[in-house]
Amino acid sequence: MLQNLKLDTTAEKNVKTWLKGKYDEETKTAIQKLIADNNATQLTDSFYKNLEFGTGGMRGEIGVGSNRMNKYTVGAATQGLANYLNKAFPGQEIKVAIAHDSRNFSPEFARVAADILSANGITVYLYKELRPTPQLSFTVRQLGCQSGIVITASHNPREYNGYKVYWVDGSQVVAPHDKNIVAEVNAITNVKDIKFKGVKKRIKMIGEVLDKAYLKAVKSISVNPRMIKRQSDLNIVFSSIHGTGITMVPKALAQLGFTNVNIVEEQATPDGNFPTVVYPNPEEQEAMSLALKKAQATNADLVIATDPDADRVGMAVKDPKGEWQLLNGNQAASLIIYYLLKAWKKAKKLTGKEFVAKTIVTTDLIDEMAAKAGVNCYNTLTGFKYIAQVIRELERQQTFIGGGEESYGYLIGDKVRDKDAIASCAMIAELTAFAKDQGISLFDFLAEMYQKNGFYYEGLISLTKKGKTGAEEIQQMMVDFRAKPPKSLAGSKVIRMDDYKALTTTDLKTGQTTDIPSGKMGIESSNVLQFFTADGTKFTCRPSGTEPKIKFYVGVRAKLKKKDEFDATLASLKEKVKTIQTELNLV
């Protein structure tokens, strides 16, 4: 029957291996059913390759097969990690912390990983129940672990799950360990090489003690507890969108002193099927609709929501017309930094040895505000592991205030080394209370930030190019931009090009080229191009590392003289982004 399906060679070979190999009967029965149903499409997609374990881990649809998330692909990843840990830390007691989110099979995959690590002589600290990703990062540091694992697929659709690996400082793995782990995982070519039988005494269940320690760390980031006391009844609507945020966000807000937190009950129960949303992503209006409805009904001051593993947070503010508006990641990151810089200055905590960090595709408004405050701002490649790298390299030299990236991930303080939606929710609530304490709305606070520093707007153009021809087209676009940089963007002359692949900066007026320092501070060779114009526009080209897409980030700015010119200024900036898109034919 298998021959009749006409699978490609690799898929057919993998199907036969799984049917003959040391796989459980439930798995083999599921494969046989696909064959009996003549489901060639699903069989091909499930077996035509091995699920790729990349430099940060892996992510894929749940199901049987070499290209799916299941106990065997999780097993191979974990065995490879165990092999590398035993090589990297010879003669030491190796400790690994494991957490998981609310997705289907997340608890089971976490247990599989714990069993395999324990079978390889490694001590495992396994959370009894679901916990946020940032708490795992904190736990790695708190318990002195060499590594950590989170079973999560972030805000992907319900069909997905994933596996993220962390290193000794609580950040996602970076070079050289990332590539070394990948090599060890790829070396697992036979299911017999995976030690599935766990050693109970090496698996230690954790929970309440670490919860308290993490919540204490979150509380420590607060800059203005007295002000919170005055505004303790701030009306906050919170949704965990069926994820892990429900375990920590309400506790963190209560601990800071907020007494009026209204939870979106329809989304409060952790559920990997995410029954109330299409995508469990707080960036999406649809995923936020129930929270916005509750905010309207309760006349809330703030709406916040976390994604399933609670490393990203979305927020909404009420505009002068009484309508709720979602803020994008650049706006939220800017507001957090604006408040922190203001609060640190008032508390006389700025000594000249503080810094903030962000990615190169995140708004330059943060650079502007940091410079005015006399605070260093470091720009890294896309990915929070690079921000964590900067924090690590500046430890005991400079103090990290906070930072973030445009994709809705922020971090305050250095006790966690990854995006932290729990701490971010706490800080967003605090800055909203601060605005209210000043007698203004959160929207007014946003407008004040733009009036003082310039109105920055960032547009994202994402083009999908599937298949082999799509990949070739994306590469050709990057070649063309390098060979023929645009001469102007929306009427302003392009004066500089930064090439992160060549690690060079070129002054397009003089042709002079200088090197971009690499190997530290979150910078290494990467296929990214940036162009800067005389009027301050920034245009970035970046192929996605995980999807068949090329992304263009367009940053524009203007002056905001008066708050009531907000809408008109925003409209003109959006129009400028559209003009650039048309000029460059990005369709």
Total-model pTM: 0.96
CA 166 vs CA 161, 173, 413, 420, 512: distances in Å: 17, 5, 18, 14, 40
- Cα(132)–Cα(147) distance, rounded to whole angstroms? 16
Strand partners, 162: 59
Helical H segments across 131-191, by residue range:
133-142, 177-186
Average pLDDT over residues 26-36: 93
User: pLDDT-derived band of residue 442, with 50, 70 and 90 as boundaries?
Assistant: very high
Are 71-206 and 213-453 equal in CATH topology?
A: yes
Residue for token pair 């230690």: 204
Q: Provide the pLDDT for residue 548.
A: 85
Given a contact cutoff of 8 angstroms between Cβ atoms, the answer to whether 497 and 531 are in contact is yes
3-state secondary structure of 209: helix
Element of type H or E holding 510: none
pLDDT at 109 over 80: yes
Strands 354-359 and 504-507: unpaired
3-state secondary structure of 382: coil
Determine the length of the chain: 587
Q: Which CATH topology does 455-584 take?
A: TATA-Binding Protein (3.30.310)
Q: What b/e string do you get for 84-119 counting C-beta neighbours within 10 Å, with b at 16 or more? A: bbeebeeeeebbbbbbbbbbbbbbebbbbbbbbbbb
- Cα(44)–Cα(41) distance, rounded to whole angstroms? 5
Given a contact cutoff of 8 angstroms between Cβ atoms, the answer to whether 298 and 264 are in contact is no
- Cα(150)–Cα(542) distance, rounded to whole angstroms? 27
pLDDT at 545 over 80: no
Closest CA to 96 of 26, 168, 43, 40: 168
Closest CA to 336 of 447, 413, 470, 427: 427
Which CATH architecture describes the domain 71-206? 3-Layer(aba) Sandwich (3.40)
- Cα(127)–Cα(208) distance, rounded to whole angstroms? 10
Closest CA to 423 of 431, 412, 432: 412
Q: Provide the pLDDT for residue 412.
A: 98
Neighbouring residues of 211: CB distance < 8 A, sequence distance ≥ 6 = 131, 135, 247, 248, 251
Element of type H or E holding 373: helix 365-373
3-state secondary structure of 402: strand
Tokens linked to 418? 């990854």
User: pLDDT-derived band of residue 495, with 50, 70 and 90 as boundaries?
Assistant: very high
pLDDT digits (tens, 9 = 90+) for 81-99: 999 999 999 999 999 999 9
pLDDT at 473 over 90: yes
What is the share, in percent, of the chain residues with pLDDT greater than 70? 99
Chain centroid offset of residue 463 CA: 20
Q: Provide the pLDDT for residue 288.
A: 98
What is the share, in percent, of the chain residues with pLDDT greater than 90? 92
pLDDT digits (tens, 9 = 90+) for 241-254: 999 999 999 999 99
3-state secondary structure of 543: strand
Residue 516 per-residue DSSP state: P
pLDDT at 155 over 80: yes
Element of type H or E holding 244: none
- Cα(7)–Cα(34) distance, rounded to whole angstroms? 12
Min mean pLDDT across 34-43, 342-351, 442-451, 480-489 is at 34-43
pLDDT digits (tens, 9 = 90+) for 392-421: 999 999 999 999 999 999 999 999 999 999
Q: Which residues are catalytic?
A: 154
Q: Provide the pLDDT for residue 1.
A: 59
Average pLDDT over residues 12-22: 93
Q: Provide the pLDDT for residue 3.
A: 65
Average pLDDT over residues 540-545: 91
The backbone torsions φ and ψ at residue 31, rounded to the nearest 5 degrees and listed phi first, read: -65, -45
- Distance spanning both ends of the chain, measured CA to CA: 45
Average pLDDT over residues 345-370: 97
- Cα(429)–Cα(270) distance, rounded to whole angstroms? 23
pLDDT at 309 over 90: yes
Average pLDDT over residues 274-301: 97
Average pLDDT for the chain: 96
> Domain spans of the chain?
1-49, 71-206, 213-453, 455-584
- Cα(10)–Cα(19) distance, rounded to whole angstroms? 14
Min mean pLDDT across 2-11, 68-77, 171-180 is at 2-11
Strands of 406-491, DSSP E: 409-412, 455-464, 488-489
User: pLDDT-derived band of residue 175, with 50, 70 and 90 as boundaries?
Assistant: confident
pLDDT at 186 over 70: yes
User: pLDDT-derived band of residue 546, with 50, 70 and 90 as boundaries?
Assistant: low
CATH number for region 213-453:
3.40.120.10
